[in-house]
A = this chain, B = another copy of it.
Amino acid sequence: MSPGTIIAGKFMAERILVIGGVAAGMSAASRARRLAPEAQITVLERGPAVAYGACGLPAFLAGALPLSALRAHPLEEFTERRKLEVLTRHEALEIIPSRRQVLVRSDGRPITLAFDKLVIATGAESALAIPGADHRLLFRAYTWEQAERLDRFCRGQRPRAAAVIGGGYIGLEVAEALAQRGLAVRLFERGTRLLHHFGEEMAGLVAQAAQRHIAVELGVAVRRVRAPRAEGVRLETTAGDCDVDFAVDCAGLRPSIGLAAAAGVALGSTGALEVDERQQTNLPAIWAAGDCAQTRDLVSGRAAWIPLGPAANQQGRVAGQNAAGGSPARFPGVLGSLAIRIFGLEAGRTGLSLEQARTAGFQPRAELIRAEAQPGYAGHRRLRLALIYDGPSRRPLGCEIVGESGAVMPRLNAAAAALTAGLSLDALELLDLAYHPDLAPLYDPLLIAAHRAAKPR
């Protein structure tokens, strides 16, 4: 936006309200402040903390750092420097678009806040829908409050055996954190593999590593959570009962859309809030961003709902800029790029998996490579890389990497950039990636995979 388009007077009376103060919400509010110095900007956060690194919660649970370390900034950064009104422990109860008001619970009492512009960043919540999902010994670790409660329980009760429901990346991270605390951990995954965003081969490598530290039970669904004893909890699973001191629900998320949907905000095909490229909803003056909002998969062009931090922040920034009346910003979509470090391995993926590609109508193939992250004479850091591509068009669609320390990010990020740009296999094969014996192999595995995939058959 050129500075000339800001007319201070225009924003004098403008009230920008943001519901949700974690990633997307605080990004939206901060961005809006930059563009609308005179606006009155208020952030409502249901929980006790704003702008914290939720991705660091497993490290907190492992005892590696205090919860407070996850704050991106001290609160004063937002209240004093950015002049945002930040209301924690304030829960939005109802949005009334016609009156541009939000009904809020504040210390148990309802208050009404008016807005000129509204950004909804209500995030995501547990999707677990089984009897006992609200049991007090069934914990969660998606939010500050949830992680704090689980940690307090572990300190106070000194439990010895835990179950984790769900073998996605959060389930694995929580299981590892609990194992690092000395707990015996059983992990239940109802699918046939861990990390369903990854292909079988890659997920299998992670499962092998995990099984050295926790008990992994694949193809086992938890049907019910009960408490047959005074202490502890029983999971009734498709493979029998499992008694543990407590359990953690990491079975997956769904977008928190109740508040918005009740106000008439339209939902997309994924069940998340539908927004355009400017993060605007179907309602005037209402934007949505982050885990509550639908987005687009950059490879397939299809609607997608992928709750991850970086996109939440970027979407928040776009929503904040547009809500503040800045020059129109757009968010093009995501690749679902994801990296984890787990049980001594690193794993990363971007773009489409084989299954996602099939669903999207491609005829995908995977080129699977075993390689090292540097020349053998300089060290051994093994990795496996799968390049997913469309058979008929030879278009790269996705990439998955599992390997030892430092093996993933250098080529995962290159793949993400290549997928965003729509580079062909031929172009990918000849990418000029930097080489150094200590830092990279002469032929990067990504290039080798592209070379093999590009071969005529």
Contact = CB atoms under 8 A, between A and B. Distances in A.
A331 B426 CA distance: 10
Nearest to A456: B2
A350 B433 CA distance: 8
A8 interface: no
A8 to B, nearest CB: 18
Nearest to A377: B69
Given A414-B414, A456-B2, A339 B440 contact: yes
A439 interface: yes
Contacts of A309: 435, 442
A409 interface: yes
Interface in A409-441: 409-418, 420-423, 427, 430-440
| Centre residue among A314, A413, A427, A438 by max chain B CB count within 10 A | A413
Contacts of A334: 432
A180 to B, nearest CB: 14
Contact of A436 (B341, B417, B437, B439): B341
Nearest to A408: B439
Contacts of A348: 434, 439
A239 to B, nearest CB: 31
A443 interface: yes
Given A377-B65, A427-B420, A340 B413 contact: no
Contacts of A456: 1-2, 327
A268 B17 CA distance: 63
Nearest to A314: B430
| Centre residue among A340, A350, A378, A437 by max chain B CB count within 10 A | A437
Contacts of A340: 436
Contact of A434 (B1, B56, B412): B412
Interface in A306-351: 308-311, 313-314, 327, 331-341, 346, 348-350
A411 to B, nearest CB: 7
Nearest to A351: B432
A350 B432 contact: yes
A298 interface: yes
A103 B411 CA distance: 44
A200 to B, nearest CB: 20
A433 B413 contact: yes
Contacts of A314: 430
Given A56-B378, A413-B410, A431 B439 contact: no
A346 B434 CA distance: 12
Given A410-B410, A418-B421, A337 B434 contact: yes
- Nearest first, the 5 A-B pairs at minimum CB distance are A421-B421, A417-B417, A409-B410, A339-B434, A413-B414
Interface of A: 1-2, 53, 55-56, 59, 65, 69-70, 298, 308-311, 313-314, 327, 331-341, 346, 348-350, 375, 377-378, 406, 408-418, 420-423, 427, 430-440, 442-444, 456
6 contacts: A55-B442, A309-B442, A339-B434, A348-B439, A410-B410, A417-B433
Given A310-B442, A327-B456, A416-B431, 9 more contacts: A69-B377, A311-B432, A314-B430, A409-B410, A409-B440, A414-B414, A418-B421, A421-B422, A421-B423
